[in-house]
Amino acid sequence: MILLSFILRKFHYWLFGISVVAVSCHESPYMQGKRLYEYHCQSCHMEDGQGLSRMIPSLATSSLLGKPEFCCVIILGKKDTIKNNVSYLAQEMPAFQSFTTTELTNLVNYMQHRWQSDFAETSIREMEEMVSFCKQKTSEQPAIPEN
Partner 1 sequence: MYLGHYILLATICLALSCSLQSCQQTNDELPYLGQTIPTEDGVKHHTVGQFKHVNQDSQWVDNQKMSQYIYVADFFFTSCPSICPKVTREMLKIHDALQLDTMVKLVSFTIDPKRDDIHRLKLYADNLGVNQKKWWFLTGDKDATLELANSFFVAALEDPDAPGGFDHSGKIVLVDREGHVRSFSEGTDPTTTPGLIKDIQKLSASYQSKN
Concatenating the DSSP letter of every residue in 45-88 gives H-TTS--BTTTB--STT-TTTTSHHHHHHHHH-B-S----SS--
* Residue from 13, 20, 53, 102 binding partner 1 (CB under 8 A): 53
Q: Which range binds partner 1 by CB under 8 A, 88-96, 98-106, 116-124, 127-135?
A: 88-96
φ and ψ of 117, to 5 deg: -70, -35
Does 61 interact with partner 1 (rule: CB under 8 A)?
A: no
> Buried b vs exposed e over 48-62: b needs ≥16 C-beta within 10 Å?
ebebeeeebbbbbeb
- Which of these segments, 15-23, 27-35, 90-98, 99-107, binds partner 1 (CB under 8 A)? 90-98
Among positions 41, 56, 108, 127, the unique one binding partner 1 when judged by CB under 8 A = 56
Distances in Å between the Cα of 113 and the Cα atoms of 7, 35, 77, 78 are: 37, 14, 23, 24
Smaller CB distance to partner 1: residue 56 or 131? 56
Min separation Cβ 61 and partner 1, Å: 16
Out of 88, 100, 102, 128, point to the residue binding partner 1 (CB under 8 A).
88
Radius of gyration of the chain (CA): 20
Chain residues binding partner 1 by CB under 8 A are 43-44, 46, 52-56, 87-90, 92, 94, 147
